[in-house]
Amino acid sequence: MKKAMSTMKDVAREAGVALGTVSRVVNGQQVGEEYRVKVEAAIEKLGYQVNPYARGLKTNKTNIIAVILPSMEHPYFSSLAQQINLSLTRRDYQMMLFLTDSHHNREDECVRMVRQNKVDGIIGLTYNAVHLSDDIPFISIDRYFGPNVPCVASDNYGGGRLAAERLAALGCKKVLSLWTGSATPGEADKRVDGFITGCNLLGIPCDDLRYVDVDGADVFRDHFQKHLIGGKLIYDGIFCNTDLLAIQVRELLAELGIRVPEDVQIIGFDGIRRFDNGKFYCTTIIQPVDKIAETCVDMLLREDRSQVPSLLCLPVSYGFGGTTKE
């Protein structure tokens, strides 16, 4: 039933050469021309393919990278998966995908599986610190764990400042910084830090609101209602730490009868695009997902791993999405 795959031994016999010679041909080492031809013919004839398990057993090297992501539901994550896959493929690496949030606290389990699987490296966007950097090369995305765990992220701080600058340039006189997220600290927290610093530098008064572990923008309703004067908000600019929050804030403002961008301008963060038309959901600071992916792969596969930086921030850019005055 199961057509037995032919092995190097078969190829050697077929070609009338020694086993080692076949191995050398397969691995592109120096081999006499006549031998190489014979071996290649035999390989072709038998449809030989190397057995990665036998090879992995010897070399302790597979061409597999584990990628650990929270889920596939957020466009940022699926986009990351896509780009990492692309970068990996270009270098003839394969991607083993682990999703953590399907079950609660699956991260540890994932890490266990990954360790057991003898992958060549790990690219992970994880919340808990994974202690295995001495074991398997690990690149963290968006979360800094310490000097010995390289972390790749957007220039979140710079993005926050950029948002402040744009809002200022667009004429804002008093702004609000909104943040929702998890208690776990991450690089993305620097977004509001950057924004607030930017506002200070520009001399623009800025209020700062943060809520942990809430979903939706409803928690801000109260604040908005208390800061209405004659039906108008006292802010003319709002920075949200994610596009999703920005969208929800816009909805909320609409309910309160406040126009965007006429009354108040909003800038989000992420650069998520709508599925239906490819446009931004809102004016936003765009994360360079492709660069992040490529950088992770590059750092992971780099020969000289002693030189990798512990934190690498990639430049973000401004994207117009209708919630600012162009």
Partner DNA sequence: TTGTATGCGTTATCAG
Partner DNA sequence: CTGATAACGCATACAA
Which residue's CB is nearer to a copy of itself, number 30 or number 277? 277
Which residue's CB is nearer to a copy of itself, number 113 or number 312? 113
User: Cβ 218 to a copy of itself, closest distance in Å?
Assistant: 13
Length of the chain: 326
Distance in angstroms (rounded) separating the CA atoms of residues 299 and 280: 30
Binding residues for a copy of itself, total number by CB under 8 A = 48
| 102 near a copy of itself (CB under 8 A) | yes
Residue 149 interface partner, choices a copy of itself, DNA, none, CB cut-off 5-8 Å depending on type: none
| 27 near DNA (CB under 7 A) | yes
Whether the CB-CB separation of 321 and 282 falls below 8 Å is answered with yes
* β-bridge mates for residue 312, sequence order: 152
| 19 near DNA (CB under 7 A) | yes
Whether the CB-CB separation of 136 and 122 falls below 8 Å is answered with yes
Residue 27 interface partner, choices a copy of itself, DNA, none, CB cut-off 5-8 Å depending on type: DNA
Residue 144 interface partner, choices a copy of itself, DNA, none, CB cut-off 5-8 Å depending on type: none
Strands 64-69 and 94-99: parallel
Residue 97 interface partner, choices DNA, a copy of itself, none, CB cut-off 5-8 Å depending on type: a copy of itself
Which residue's CB is nearer to a copy of itself, number 165 or number 290? 290
Of 33, 213, 262, 276, the residue at the interface with a copy of itself (CB under 8 A) is: 276
Of 18, 37, 41, 97, the residue at the interface with a copy of itself (CB under 8 A) is: 97
Residue 81 interface partner, choices DNA, a copy of itself, none, CB cut-off 5-8 Å depending on type: a copy of itself
| 4 near DNA (CB under 7 A) | yes
Q: In the chain, which ranges are continuous DSSP H helix?
A: 8-15, 19-26, 33-46, 52-59, 75-90, 107-116, 156-169, 190-202, 221-226, 243-255, 289-301
Residues 45-64 that bind DNA (CB under 7 A): 48-51, 54-55, 57-59
> DSSP assignment, residue 234?
S
Distance in angstroms (rounded) separating the CA atoms of residues 96 and 58: 21
Q: Give ∠ CA 256-262-265 in degrees, rounded to 5.
A: 85
CA R_g for the chain: 26
- 10 Å CB burial of residue 257 (0-12, 13-18, 19+) is exposed
Question: Whose CA is closest to 167, among 1, 324, 316?
Answer: 324
Distances (CA, A) of 132 to 129, 144, 164, 304, 326: 9, 14, 39, 19, 47
Which residue's CB is nearer to a copy of itself, number 12 or number 110? 110
| 254 near DNA (CB under 7 A) | no
| 35 near DNA (CB under 7 A) | yes
Residues in CB range of 292: below 8 A, 6 or more apart: 80, 83, 141, 152, 153, 154, 314
Residue 8 interface partner, choices DNA, a copy of itself, none, CB cut-off 5-8 Å depending on type: DNA
| 40 near DNA (CB under 7 A) | no
Of 21, 85, 265, 287, the residue at the interface with a copy of itself (CB under 8 A) is: 85
Question: Whose CA is closest to 191, among 268, 118, 79?
Answer: 268
- Interface residues with a copy of itself (CB under 8 A)? 3, 49-54, 56-57, 62, 64, 71-75, 78-79, 81-82, 85-86, 89, 94-99, 102-103, 106, 113, 115-118, 134-135, 244, 247-248, 272, 274-277, 281
- Interface residues with DNA (CB under 7 A)? 4-5, 7-9, 17-21, 23-24, 26-27, 30-32, 34-35, 48-51, 54-55, 57-59
